[in-house]
Each structure stands twice: as structure tokens, then as C-alpha cells.
Structure 1
């Protein structure tokens, strides 16, 4: 899925290839017992509070930072195509609110091509989030996911 032209200037994208089969990467994204192992940047503990993986279903996770403070991440699923795409609203309070995640999966032999698009309400908000460390933060999360799926094979 490509991002609509009008949204390109307010979208941040990360692409990765995970050295794990699509079914395993999909499970890591969709099953709470897996999510708790990799969601969040390195050094954070994640508790899955709510996870209703269906269109209209809510998800809510609590992430504890190394200093003991917590913040909540939550959203509502608006589109799910099994083994292909997940679309959800997302709030990462208090740092990021009102974004939409488009998470795309593509089987590539024994690996999985992965595209993570975050759509922001405005171009200015998108630029602000990028400056706050979007690529480093999510890059760390996806490093953890890669490690988790690689060792879970």
C-alpha cells in the first residue's frame, strides 16, 4: 500500500527486512505474549493491559522506563489484512498523540519485508516528531523485534 500523495509530507517511514518467516513476525505483532518481549525501546519493560486484535478492537500497553516512570501507548485497529497489513490509531502519551500507524508485511522467502508508516495530522507535527528522535526510538524497537523473532525461530 502506498501512502496517498496528500499524506506523504506528514508521514515518517521505516523499512526493514527481518530474518524470520512472515508467520512468526505476524505473531510477534499480533499476540500479546510476544508483544511484551519487544515493544518499546531498549531498556523498557512493557505490560500488555489490553489487546483486542480485530477491527474496532482496542490495544493498550504500559511501558516502564529505566527510571521507573511509565507511559501509556494505546489505539484502535481500523484495518487488518492477515499477514499483510495492520492500520491503527496510536497515542504514545505524553510524547506523541493522534497518529495513525500503517504496518505492512511482505513475505520474501524465509524473510519478511516490513514497512512502518506513521501518519501525522500535519507536516509540522511530523517534522517535530522526527526531530524528537523518531528514527532512533523506533529503530531501537525494531532492533528488539528483529532480535526476538530471530531467536524465536
Structure 2
């Protein structure tokens, strides 16, 4: 059975190189990789190459909940595409489209999981992408 795919996206007022760097560099990932202000990302590691692994920790600021998010890259095309497999086997593809005029469209498509509704998953991943956009445009 083919998994349901969900897509989230944002148009970011920054050049493609900056968007790529802020998406892939651990020193930036810790500043945007969470869905709401009561969460944070205390750590991130990222080996951005085909076969490379990544991991980040997302945690509630009150310390009551946390989880690790990680996987392995299947394809890396710098400033254009990341494809990876999460630890549970689901696939994710992130596209970086240079729209010119210092603007980049980021599109992330992922296999849905069966525990939460598609709407809840879309909202959570979109919130993270929106947080990324806010961070990149604010720096």
C-alpha cells in the first residue's frame, strides 16, 4: 500500500544559498526546528551528503517531553534537493527553488504516518517551515 504524501511549503525572502545553509547547518537548525514557542531544539547534528545521517532533538521548554528526529540522506543536490529516509522508513523530499530576486521557494513532501491525522501532521510540519521562514528572514 502506497503511503499518503503530505506537502508543506513557504516562499522565503532570501537567496537560495542562504536558505540552503540555514536549513542544513546545525548552528542554525537549533534556532528554528520546532513548531511552537513552547518548544525548542536543544541539539542538532547533520552530515549533509548521500549516506550521511542527521539527528535533532525537539523538546518542550518545560522539560516534560522530548523526542529525537533523524534519518539518512538518500540524495543530496546542494542548494536544490534533499531526499532522506526517516528512522521509521518514511521518505521525505525537500526542494529549494531559486525564484530570483533574492527569493526561494522551499517545498517539503513527506510520507504520512498512521498515528495522527493528515491535517495534524500537515499543520505541525507547516509550523516548522513557517518558523524556518521567520528565522531566515529575521537574521
TM-score by length of 2: 0.87
**Structure with higher helix content:** 1
The answer to whether the aligner puts 1:119 opposite 2:111 as a matched pair is yes
Alpha-carbon contact 1:49-1:61 (below 8 Å) kept: yes
Q: 1:130 aligns with which of 114, 118, 121?
A: 118
1:35-91 CA-to-partner distances (Å, cap 9, x unmatched) read 110012122111334321111111111111134121111100110001110001124
* Stretches of 4+ aligned residues off by more than 4 angstroms: 125-129
**Matching residue of 1:71:** 67
> Residues 127 and 108 of structure 1: is their aligned pair in 2 closer, same or farther, counting only changes over 3 Å?
farther
TM-score by length of 1: 0.80
How big is the alpha-carbon RMSD for the aligned residues of Structure 1 and Structure 2? 2.0
**Matching residue of 1:23:** 17
The answer to whether the aligner puts 1:99 opposite 2:94 as a matched pair is no
1:29 to partner: Cα distance: 1.1
Which sections of structure 2, spanning at least 5 residues, go unmatched? none
1:10 to partner: Cα distance: 1.7
> Residues 63 and 128 of structure 1: is their aligned pair in 2 closer, same or farther, counting only changes over 3 Å?
closer
**Matching residue of 1:48:** 43
SS in 1 for 2:133: helix
**Matching residue of 2:26:** 32
Q: How many residues align?
A: 136
1:128 to partner: Cα distance: 4.5
How far apart, CA to CA, are the structure 1 residues paired with 2:40 and 2:115? 28
